[in-house]
Amino acid sequence: MIRSMRPVIVAGNWKMHTTPADAGELARTIAARTCVDGVVRVLCPPFVCLAAVRDAVAGPDAAAPDGSGVAVGAQDVHHEPAGAFTGAVSAPMLAGLATWTIVGHSERRRDVCETDELIGRKLATSRAAGLRTILCVGEQLAEREAGRAIQVVDGQVRGCLAAATPEAIVAGDTLGFAIAYEPVWAIGTGRNARGADAAEIAAAIRATLTALGFPNGGEDVPILYGGSVASSNIDEFMAEPSIDGALVGGASLKPDEMAAIVARAGLTAAARAAADA
């Protein structure tokens, strides 16, 4: 059964929170409280905290290629591998610090005017450096209210994927490329999308991946939901067969919330494994 072969992923985006002095302890606590079979866990602290988080989850908690353990991700990456780009961090520089990255987060589209074309280059350089990459897409509230959510997300996916071939993006790694559907109006607002709406967008994204020639029609690409995810609403998303986990912002800084979110995601992972057996 194709659907159940997709991994279940919970990624935490710590945004501009924590310091090198306290990030390790938070990561250690979350790692210890989220040991759930079948859930790929990724923590994305600020750049300056990557080493502390890496060290905190080393040992039994360290990420393995199969997604067990806790992986460390960067929240962004530059679109060039090296050069005269003051203050920037490139994908090759992350070697030894992070194995994942997020590209295209709406806060970066909003704050530094990142375009789909630029985000596509970030995706390509990340994958070329072997970083597993979460591409964020999502519509504004006015676009949803105008009935244009699917059209907007389709345009973002096509724009971001124009710079590389599907084969280069996936590169034979089932965890290599994921898409996070994050409606902008749901991020940090406490107002989450409905599970059915997220599922509708996920289906539309997979239709776009099919049209773009992704292997197996894009059925193998995990699609996460993000936008005010909490322990109180994660079930709504995990109940949707087309949704493969969550990109969690504010709640990912709270160990109790992360423990509950990952536990709920683990139920979906177990159900998928049973359906596969």
Q: Which residues, numbered 104-133, are part of the site for ligand PEP (CB under 6 A)?
A: 105
Question: What is the Cβ-side half-sphere exposure of residue 5, based on CA atoms within 13 angstroms?
Answer: 9
Residue 183 interacts with ligand PEP (CB under 6 A)?
A: no
Comparing CB distances to ligand PEP, the nearer of 94 and 251 is 251
Residue 248 interacts with ligand PEP (CB under 6 A)?
A: yes
Q: Of these residues, 139, 182, 236, 257, which one is catalytic?
A: 182
Residue 266 interacts with ligand PEP (CB under 6 A)?
A: no
C-alpha separations of 125 from 118, 163, 259 in Å: 11, 10, 33
Comparing CB distances to ligand PEP, the nearer of 157 and 187 is 187
> Does an H or E element contain 74, and which?
strand 70-74
Q: At what angle do helices 23-33 and 255-276 cross, to 10 degrees?
A: 40
Determine the Cα–Cα distance for residues 89 and 120; give it in Å rounded to an integer: 16
Tokens representing residue 105 in the block: 């987060």
Active site residue 17: no
Active site residue 107: no
Residue 228 interacts with ligand PEP (CB under 6 A)?
A: yes
Comparing CB distances to ligand PEP, the nearer of 214 and 249 is 249
The least CB distance from residue 258 to ligand PEP, in Å, is: 11
Among residues 38, 155, 166, 188, which is the contact residue for ligand PEP, using CB under 6 A? 188
Residues with Cβ < 8 Å from 164, sequence gap 6 or more? 120, 123, 124, 127
Determine the Cα–Cα distance for residues 70 and 60; give it in Å rounded to an integer: 9
SS3 73: strand
Among residues 89, 229, 265, 269, which is the contact residue for ligand PEP, using CB under 6 A? 229
Residues with Cβ < 8 Å from 135, sequence gap 6 or more? 103, 104, 119, 123, 157, 160, 177, 178, 179, 180
Comparing CB distances to ligand PEP, the nearer of 246 and 272 is 246
The least CB distance from residue 229 to ligand PEP, in Å, is: 5
Which residue, chain included where needed, has tokens 């139920």? 267
Among residues 24, 104, 249, 266, which is the contact residue for ligand PEP, using CB under 6 A? 249
Determine the Cα–Cα distance for residues 198 and 237; give it in Å rounded to an integer: 8
Determine the Cα–Cα distance for residues 156 and 93; give it in Å rounded to an integer: 27
Residue 245 interacts with ligand PEP (CB under 6 A)?
A: no
Identify whether the C-beta of residue 258 lies closer than 8 Å to the C-beta of residue 33.
yes
Q: Which stretch binds ligand PEP (CB under 6 A): 26-34, 118-126, 208-216, 245-253?
A: 245-253
Comparing CB distances to ligand PEP, the nearer of 67 and 183 is 183
Q: Which residues, numbered 15-74, are part of the site for ligand PEP (CB under 6 A)?
A: 15
Comparing CB distances to ligand PEP, the nearer of 114 and 182 is 182
> Catalytic residue positions?
105, 182
Binding residues for ligand PEP (CB under 6 A) = 13, 15, 105, 182, 187-188, 226-229, 247-251
